[in-house]
Structure 1
Amino acid sequence: MKNIKILSILFLASIFFTSCEEEIMEWEERSEEQRITTAEIPLELEEKISRYDALKTYSDYVLGAGIILDLYMNDENYRSIVNENFDEVTVGYAMKHGAMVNADGEINFEPIDDFIALTNQSGLSVYGHTLNWHANQNASYLNSLIAPTIIPGSSGANILDRSALEDGTFTGWPKNNPGDGITIVENAGLGSDSPAIELIAGSGASEPFNLQLATPDIPIVQGNEYEVSFYIKSDQPGQGRISFSGLENNYPYKDWYNTGEGTEAFETTSEWQQVTFTVSDFTDTSFGFFFDLGYVPGVTYYIDVATISVVDPNTGSETVNLISNGDFEGGNLDGWNGYGNESTRAVSAQGEGYGNTGYAMVLTNPAEAELYSAQQVFALNEPLEEGTEYTYSFYVKADVPATVQVQIQGGTAQYSGPIDIGTTWTQIERTFTPTAGNNSFVFDFGLTPATVFIDDVVLTSGEIATGSETVVIEMSDEEKAEIIGDALEHWISGMVTRYKDDVTAWDVVNEPMKEGGSLRDGNVTDLASDDFYWVKYLGKDYAVTAFKLAREYGNPSDILFINDYNLEASLAKLDGLIEFTQYIESQGATVDGIGTQMHVSLTTSRENIVEMFQKMAATGKQIKVSELDVRLGTASPTTDQLTQQADMYQFIIDSYREYVPSSQQYGITLWNISDNEQEHEFWLPDESPNVWDANYERKPAYKGVADGLAGRDVSEDFTGELE
């Protein structure tokens, strides 16, 4: 135990001695009842604070701490403070979707398993934070589940005239046998606004030619091989074939699906599928083909107009690509080199290139820097011709929204400026006029911590060959809802089941409300890279589903919370949260508690704090202060600020005790332990909001918290006796 402070001793001396400049001290014997004992000596604040016991000894409800997992696991001093002072811990990040779910949707439990094993040894309980939130999600994985399917255009120009299908006239497209109807249906194709040919087999159909649509004549070059492809589906299992005019064999058995086997017919289902094959046995300078779909009566077929193509891969534009390894189909990065910002470069796996085919170049930047701090360079064989217009194009995407730039280096550098890219393939095309000495093509990708995929890089002074159009297939809202609903169940069921014996209280839904009290809807234009709004795909009932899943896979006795921030600042937001809680319960789920984060400052309205607790208590729910800290606006507070901070902590805890009935008091969690910069790299940097200072010494706030928990000034019991 510490001795009393020297100042206290001096104070004692001052009681017994008086002095003046010219008089000698006179000693006087006092009676026993007039004597001052050491127990009566007043204590300095610092001495008082040092004599307080661990915080949890003063609390009759759960006292929690929001902590950083790595510090708890690896810093013995930090861990000992947590173990000594708290009943429960909440990890700030490590139990969230973004921290635990990998790119394949698998949950990595190992770090939390180790953490819970250590807290069990220390006698601490763990609070689950959080099962459903819009931030700190593996948004890249979730978005990939509902990403549109991109069907790349053909490798050359489409020589089949589709204009009569696109305008719905069928001019030049004979309906040799229309069955029960051959028409164009808008918005029925693969793309969201793509038309489709609808072909309906009659009830008496039994032969393929009982439903037949013919193409116009297609001019060809003798000796060349042509690729024919289209996408087709049917309302029920069906069957079709392609027959021809102008071939040596107009009724060939074809390898429709590139399986290596030839058949007369292909099968159709309710899912879009591609039929693709080649022809070369021409008898003339043109040929035609027929969609024969009369095998099965009563089937309705759809053929996507935009994907019907006939291409000669051996002809087309004479584009001379100055980037000799722009498609990476050799599975290497020959000709490319790069450096900077500890970035890495590689070739993707087969099938990860544009259009889910072939290879792509993969550039990974680990940390934010300047655009040009990480570069990937292709050195040209010779400088570009000064004054000649050039064009470059490439397909690009990233694992998170990112920014890249193109430079043409050598001589006076040319810059594209920042190019914003998303998580689906996009083609970028730019033109420029070189200056003397321009002799290398460069990707700058240092700005965004991201993995960038690049494919089909072309640099030419001619035209860029585009072939036929790319088709983007968006999922329906119903399909997205089903997929995201499954992902939510996978996540919640995995977490709650895994930690059923160790975590018995959870933040199930976190921060659902906007400031004015309305429900977040997910319609946000400037998303962070780890933002994913479940509500956008599952609607208002996303929270109902989350609570039902947490209850289904957990224990009946688990305490399930809805939680939000700024409830003391916006009582309208609190009202909205309470109303949303009532809605969730009206749909058959049970919400056990409401959490209020309470990241406050010295100027936060105390009247609002009282009214907030009163409104929350009126719900009858368990009430939790879930993330309490008191900001001072500086990392170097004055003595007066520290005193006011202690007073605000005590006021909040006193108000919680006074206005929330004891039966509804789940507890209070302090958010972070100390003002040490290790705890404030991402949360309130250059601040001093916590109960311990940057050196893990108790601040006046420690006394404020302890007195609030105890409901009295604990230091009144302290004496001046040496300890």
Structure 2
Amino acid sequence: MKRHTLLYKLALVALIGLLSACEKDPINILNANTYTADGSLKTATTAFPVGLSIDYDLFLNNAQYRSVVAADAQSTTFGYHMKHGALVRNDGTIDFTKADALYDACKTAGIEVFGHTLGWHQNQNATYLKTITGGGSGPTAVNLVANGSFESGSGDNFNNWGKYNGGTSLVATSVTSEVQAGTKALKIVVTADGNPWNVQMASDEFATTVGKTYNMTFFIKSAVAGGQMRISTGGTGSTAQYSGNYSTSTDWVQKTYSFTANGPMTRVLIDIGSKANTYFMDNVVVVDASASVPPTGGALVTAVDNALKDFITQTVTHYKGKVKAWDVVNEPVSESGTLRTDANTTVSATATDYFFWSKYLGRNWALKAFQYAAAADPTAELYINDYNLESNSVKLDSLIGYVAELKGKGAKITGIGTQMHVLWNTPYSGIDNMFKKLAATGLKIRISELDVRMNPNKKTQFVLNKQFESYQADMYAYIVRSYLTNVPVAQQSGITVWGITDNTSWLYENGLDFPLLYNKDYSKKAAYYAVLKTLKEK
């Protein structure tokens, strides 16, 4: 039912023209409806999950926030804590502690978790990634570990290495499939789970400078995925230091550990007694970080490829059987429709979390990401995800073309996510066009990060009054209706709203915008009822 007179609406149209320079769609202005419906979002439809993005601290520590999510969400996406920057430490190890805590809390609440995100150019631990590609600017690095390739020695004896607690479980292997490079490698057979130090291999001591940073790299794989080990340091005049735990897969992966010397002599120890498995290790290198030189050519490509593979493989394997769907590749296309690179993306001078896989791996970086994810969990649904598809037809067509290209090369792609960070007056025609074109791919389609900005020009005098709330509600309702109308039921895989309350949105900016379904006090806005009513209409 219409709530306002035409005269009042026309006056507001003039006001709106002062608040936004964006293109207007008259339908958005004149169709301000009242929405009423009973029930919750999670029970409004059985066709697909309705989800909400959540914040780690709020979900774990705010009972009201958590109860709202539990009441309305069938699924959730972590806003940050499954991204590279959240999981990867500066030494390259992966710490799932916070992600696991959040996952466990969701499981307790009966909420599914959608994995987000495995391959992106932002929210990366670029500090770690740049140790792979950037190195230092000093002289050529010298490996401080003698016989780090395990080429010297025979049987269960290695020159320049000592064995502790492991007995004859540490032996030389020359089997081609068990060697990363050269003719020999270290083979470790761990027969039972135990303490990390139950099986140890220690290098000879080497001279170090107190306070100086050293970078250690090594290659490792295991007979069965899911192995575990760590690195520790010691030596004359030095106190022990420990890396985080490294997980292993059945493929060779290069690991990195950085440490600051605290004594004049240091040795590195391979602590590998935690998990029963058969391990293969090769090419241990320790260099003065200031003397490190970055790899070049094919070695550089391999190093970056290994970093991508290691992150995706470990993360997907860790959540195999728990997380059933992933955003594998996020925002791969620029606004001009080209593959996103560092050359066509604006990066703030103060940003420290950007890293472009495409710079090193080219167009096939996304293909590799999908291949690694599919290998780690063949049953998982795998998505590609991007934004502005409803407002940029060039980008939309380019993304669809890129998906076809990747699938033609063998990528397993289950579906496409459209983020839909839209404006209250985004043209409806673009929304319809997007859903029709996405549906024509035959893939599953999901709305992955929905919010509706009300004050895109950040006018400080903006107030979200009842009139603007109704416009926002209309936009939410139209998006849901267009999705239900233009995407066949079999291809509908979900709608996720990107947050809970307005004041916790990434767009809030101290009260400049109000893009979500709930007010600051957790009361439901008109937009909430618009989504609920529209979902129940089908």
- The reply to whether residue 707 of structure 1 matches residue 527 of structure 2 is no
- Residue 54 (structure 1) aligned with residue 40 (structure 2): yes
Secondary structure at the residue paired with 2:445?
A: strand
Question: Which stretch has the larger CA shift, 103-112 or 474-483?
Answer: 474-483
Structure 2 counterpart of 1:82: 69
SS of residue paired to 1:143: helix
**1:151 is matched with which residue?**
138
Aligned AA (1:608): G
The CA distance in 2 between the partners of 1:545 and 1:532, in whole Å, is 16
Task: Pick closer, same or farther for the CA change 1:148–1:110 going to 2, 3 Å.
Answer: closer
Match of 1:511 in 2: 331
Please state if 1:548 is matched with 2:375: no
| Alignment partners' CA distance in 2, 1:71 and 1:111 | 13
Structure 1 residue 62, shift from structure 2 partner:
1.1
Match of 2:315 in 1: 495
Give how far 1:522 is off. Answer: 2.5
The one-letter code sitting in structure 1 at the alignment partner of 2:426 is: T
Contiguous gaps of at least 5 residues in structure 2: 1-32, 143-207, 217-289
Asked if the contact 2:505–2:516 (Cα under 8 Å) also holds between the matched residues in 1, the reply is no
State the match for 1:559 in structure 2: 381
User: Could you tell me whether the CA contact under 8 Å between 2:508 and 2:515 is conserved in 1?
Assistant: no
**8 Å CA contact retained: 1:597, 1:628:** yes
Distance, in Å, in 2 between the alignment partners of 1:644 and 1:672 is 19
- Residue aligning to 1:352: 213
Give the drift of 1:680: 4.0
**CA deviation string 1:387-443 (max 9, x = no partner):** xxxxxxxxxxxxxxxxxxxxxxxxxxxxxxxxxxxxxxxxxxxxxxxxxxxxxxxxx
Contact 1:636 1:688 in 2 (8 A): no
Conserved? CA contact 1:126–1:503, under 8 Å: yes
1:342 is matched with none
Corresponding residue for residue 637 of structure 1: 464
Alignment check: 8 A CA contact 2:301 2:360 kept: yes
2:521 aligned residue (695, 699, 722): 695
Aligned counterpart, 2:428? 606
Q: Is 2:483 the counterpart of 1:483?
A: no
Q: As a proportion of its length, which structure holds more helix? A: 2
CA deviation after TM superposition for structure 1 residue 682, in Å: 7.6
Q: TM-score, normalised by structure 2?
A: 0.63
Measured in 2, the distance between the counterparts of 1:608 and 1:684 equals 30
User: 1:273-672 to 2 correspondence within 5 Å?
Assistant: 349-352=210-213, 473-523=293-343, 526=347, 528-554=351-377, 556-633=378-455, 636-672=463-499
Equivalent AA in structure 2 for residue 115 of structure 1: L
Residue type at the aligned position of 2:81: A
- Whether the 8 Å contact between 1:68 and 1:679 is mirrored in structure 2 is no
Distance across 2 between alignment mates of 1:689 and 1:536: 34
The aligned counterpart of 1:133 is 120
Q: Could you tell me which amino acid in structure 2 is paired with residue 581 of structure 1?
A: V
How far apart in 1 are the matches of 2:413 and 2:510?
30
Q: Deviations over 1:183-204 (max 9, x none)?
A: xxxxxxx79xxxxxxxxxxxxx
Is the deviation greater in 618-627 or in 703-712?
703-712
- How many Å separate the matches in 2 of 1:599 and 1:86? 19
In the alignment, the residues of structure 2 paired with residue 619 and residue 488 of structure 1 have an alpha-carbon distance, to the nearest angstrom, of 27
- C-alpha separation in 2, matches of 1:622 and 1:711: 21
2:486 maps to a residue whose letter is Y
| Cα distance, 1:674–1:477 mapped onto 2, change above 3 Å | same
Mapping 1:18-29, distance limit 5 Å: none
8 Å contact 2:294–2:300 — kept in the other structure?
no
1:507 match: secondary structure: strand
Structure of greater Rg: 1
Deviation of 1:474 (Å): 4.5
For 1:568, give the aligned amino acid. E
**C-alpha deviations, 1:353-385, integer Å up to 9, x for none?**
9x99xxxxxxxxxxxxxxxxxxxxxxxxxxxxx
Instruction: For residue 558 of structure 1, report the CA deviation from its aligned partner.
Output: 1.2
- Following superposition, the deviation at residue 150 of structure 1 comes to 3.1
Does the CA-based 8 Å contact 1:629-1:689 persist in structure 2?
Answer: yes
> Residue 112 of structure 1: CA displacement?
1.2
Q: What amino acid sits opposite 2:406 in the alignment?
A: I
Amino acid at match of 2:38: Y
Q: Classify 1:137/1:349 alpha carbon distance in 2 versus 1 (closer, same or farther; 3 Å).
A: farther
Give the residue type in structure 1 aligned to 2:440. Answer: A
Partners of 1:574 and 1:76 in 2: CA distance: 40
**Greater RCO (CA < 8 Å, at least 6 residues apart):** 2
Alignment of 1:200-215 (within 5 A): none
Contact 1:477–1:537 (CA<8 Å) still a contact in 2? no
Distance 2:48 2:212 in 1: 56
Measured against aligned partners, the alpha-carbon deviations of 1:303-343 in whole angstroms (never above 9, x if no partner) come to: xxxxxxxxxxxxxxxxxxxxxxxxxxxx9xxxxxxxxxxxx
Which amino acid in the other structure matches residue 489 of structure 1?
A: K
Secondary structure (helix, strand or coil) at the match of 1:130 reads strand
Q: Quote the residue 1:381 is aligned against.
A: none
Q: Which residue of 2 aligns with 1:113?
A: 100
Partner Cα separation in structure 1 for residue 508 and residue 322 of structure 2 = 28
Q: Is the 8 A contact 2:505 2:515 kept in 1?
A: no
Rounded to whole Å, the distance in 2 between the matches of 1:349 and 1:493 is 36
| 1:486 aligned counterpart, secondary structure | helix
Change (3 A) 1:89 1:121: same
How far the C-alpha of 1:585 sits from its partner, in A, is 1.1
TM-score normalised by the chain length of structure 1: 0.47
In structure 2, the CA distance between the partners of 1:71 and 1:349, relative to structure 1 (3 Å rule), is farther
CA distance in 2: counterparts of 1:521 and 1:641, whole angstroms:
38
Residue type at the aligned position of 2:42: K
SS at the partner of 2:337? Answer: coil
Aligned partner (choices 57, 70, 95) of residue 82 of structure 2: 95
Counterpart residue type for residue 595 of structure 1: G
Closer, same or farther in 2 for the Cα pair 1:675/1:577, shift >3 Å? same
1:21-40 aligned within 5 A: none
d(CA) in 2 for partners of 1:63 and 1:504?
Answer: 15
Give, as a single letter, the amino acid of the residue that structure 2 aligns with 1:706: L
* Equivalent position SS for 1:350: coil
Q: 1:480 to 1:656 in 2, by over 3 A?
A: same
Secondary structure of the 1:628 match is strand
- Residues 563, 594 of structure 1: 8 Å contact kept: yes
Q: How far apart are the structure 2 equivalents of 1:586 and 1:685?
A: 46
Q: Distance in 1 between matches of 2:327 and 2:435?
A: 19
**Structure 2 counterpart of 1:512, one-letter code:** P
SS of corresponding position for 1:131: strand
TM-superposition CA deviations, 1:546-592 (whole Å, max 9, x none): 001101001x3311000000000101101111111111111111111
Distance 1:578 1:588 in 2: 16
Q: One-letter code of the match for 1:552?
A: A
The answer to whether the 8 Å contact 1:481/1:538 transfers is: yes
Q: CA 1:110–1:349 in structure 2 vs 1: closer, same or farther (change >3 Å)?
A: farther
Range 524-533 or range 563-572, more displaced? 524-533
